[in-house]
C-alpha cells in the first residue's frame, strides 16, 4: 500500500513539473496585429505664437489672445509595417478663441475644419496588456465654417497644415479592444485669419489636447 502511495505522489510531482516547464514559440506561432482601427475624442485648447518678420524681428503685440475650449473627433486606421506603424484618418476639428484689443473690445472666432491626419508610430509593448506609443503627425485641415463676432464676412484661410506629436499609452480590455489615452500637441504653419486688418503680425496656432478613445486590433 505504501509503495502505491509513493508511486502516485511521484507521478503527480512529475506531472506538475512537466506543466511548469516554459513553452516556446516560433515567430510563425505568434499572432501579428496587422491593422488597428481607432475612434477618438479630443478636448483641448489653442494658444498662439507670434511669427517673426523676414529678419527674425518679433513685432510689437497690441492685443491679448484668449484661449477657449475646443475639440476634435475622428477615426483612423494604422497599418503595422514593422518596425513602424503608418496611419491615416479623417475627423472634424472645432476651434474657438478670442482677442482682446488694445481698446478693450473683444472679438470671438468659432471655426470648424475637416481634419485628415497622416502619422507614423513607434509602439513599445510594456506587457501583454499595456503599450507605450509616440506618433509624429502631419495634419491637413480644410475649413467648413468660420464665424467672427464682429465681422459679417470675415476673410479667413481656407486650408492649412499642422505638424505635431501624440504620446501616450493603451490598455487592453480584451484580446481585440484597447482603451487609448494620449497627450497631443499640434503646431500650425500659417495664420487662420487672412483679413485681420487691425494687426500687422502673423499668429501661428498651437493646439494642445488630450485624446481618449478605443482601438480595435485585427
User: What rounded mean pLDDT belongs to the chain?
Assistant: 86
Q: Residue 150: phi, psi to the nearest 5? A: -120, -20
**Three-class DSSP category at 2:** helix
**Residue 30 located in a structural domain:** no
**CA–CA dist 109, 148 (Å, integer):** 5
**Residue 127 located in a structural domain:** yes
pLDDT at 209: 97
In angstroms, the Cα distances linking 34 to 43, 73, 80, 168, 186 are 29, 24, 5, 20, 27
Give, as one character, the DSSP assignment of residue 151: -
Which range, of 29-43, 60-74, 112-126, averages the lowest pLDDT?
29-43
Number of domain units in the chain: 1
Output helix, strand, coil percentages for the chain, rounded to the nearest 5.
Answer: 10, 60, 30
**Residue 2 located in a structural domain:** no
Q: What percent of the chain has pLDDT over 70?
A: 83
Q: How confident is the model at residue 1 (pLDDT cuts 50, 70, 90)?
A: low
| pLDDT average, residue stretch 46-75 | 87
Q: How confident is the model at residue 4 (pLDDT cuts 50, 70, 90)?
A: very low
Give the pLDDT confidence of 86-101 residue by residue, as tens digits: 999 999 999 999 999 9
pLDDT top residue among 74 and 198: 74
**CA–CA dist 119, 93 (Å, integer):** 17
Give the pLDDT confidence of 99-129 residue by residue, as tens digits: 999 899 999 999 999 999 999 999 998 988 9
pLDDT at 86: 96
Contact by Cβ (8 Å): 168, 183: yes
**Residue 28 located in a structural domain:** no
**Residue 167 located in a structural domain:** yes
**CA–CA dist 159, 25 (Å, integer):** 50
pLDDT at 54 over 90: no
What residue has cell string 517673426?
52
**Residue 13 located in a structural domain:** no
**Residue 14 located in a structural domain:** no
**Residue 17 located in a structural domain:** no
Max mean pLDDT among 6-10, 49-53, 177-181 falls in 177-181
pLDDT at 30: 43
Q: What's the gap between Cα 23 and its chain centre?
A: 38
Pick from 150, 139, 19, 152: nearest CA to 88: 139
pLDDT at 186 over 70: yes
Q: What's the gap between Cα 118 and its chain centre?
A: 11
| pLDDT average, residue stretch 151-170 | 94
Domain hosting residue 87, numbered range:
35-217
Domain CATH number, residue 87 = 2.40.160.20
User: Maximum Cα–Cα distance for the chain, whole Å?
Assistant: 103
Amino acid at each position: 500500500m505504501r509503495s502505491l502511495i509513493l508511486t502516485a505522489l511521484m507521478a503527480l510531482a512529475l506531472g506538475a513539473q512537466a506543466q511548469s516547464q516554459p513553452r516556446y514559440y516560433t515567430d510563425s506561432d505568434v499572432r501579428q496585429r496587422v491593422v488597428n482601427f481607432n475612434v477618438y475624442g479630443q478636448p483641448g485648447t489653442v494658444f498662439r505664437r507670434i511669427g517673426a518678420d523676414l529678419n527674425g524681428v518679433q513685432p510689437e503685440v497690441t492685443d491679448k489672445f484668449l484661449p477657449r475650449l475646443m475639440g476634435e473627433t475622428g477615426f483612423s486606421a494604422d497599418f503595422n509595417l514593422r518596425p513602424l506603424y503608418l496611419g491615416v484618418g479623417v475627423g472634424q476639428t472645432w476651434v474657438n478663441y478670442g482677442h482682446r484689443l488694445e481698446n478693450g473690445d473683444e472679438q470671438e472666432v468659432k471655426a470648424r475644419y475637416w481634419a485628415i491626419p497622416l502619422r507614423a508610430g513607434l509602439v513599445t509593448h510594456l506587457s501583454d496588456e499595456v503599450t507605450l506609443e509616440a506618433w509624429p503627425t502631419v495634419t491637413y485641415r480644410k475649413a467648413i465654417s468660420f464665424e467672427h463676432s464682429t465681422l459679417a464676412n470675415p476673410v479667413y484661410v481656407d486650408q492649412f497644415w499642422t505638424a505635431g506629436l501624440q504620446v501616450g499609452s493603451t490598455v487592453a480590455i480584451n484580446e481585440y479592444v484597447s482603451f487609448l489615452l494620449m497627450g497631443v500637441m499640434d503646431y500650425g504653419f500659417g495664420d487662420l485669419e487672412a483679413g485681420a486688418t487691425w494687426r500687422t503680425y502673423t499668429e501661428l496656432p498651437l493646439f494642445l489636447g488630450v485624446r481618449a478613445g478605443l482601438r480595435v486590433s485585427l
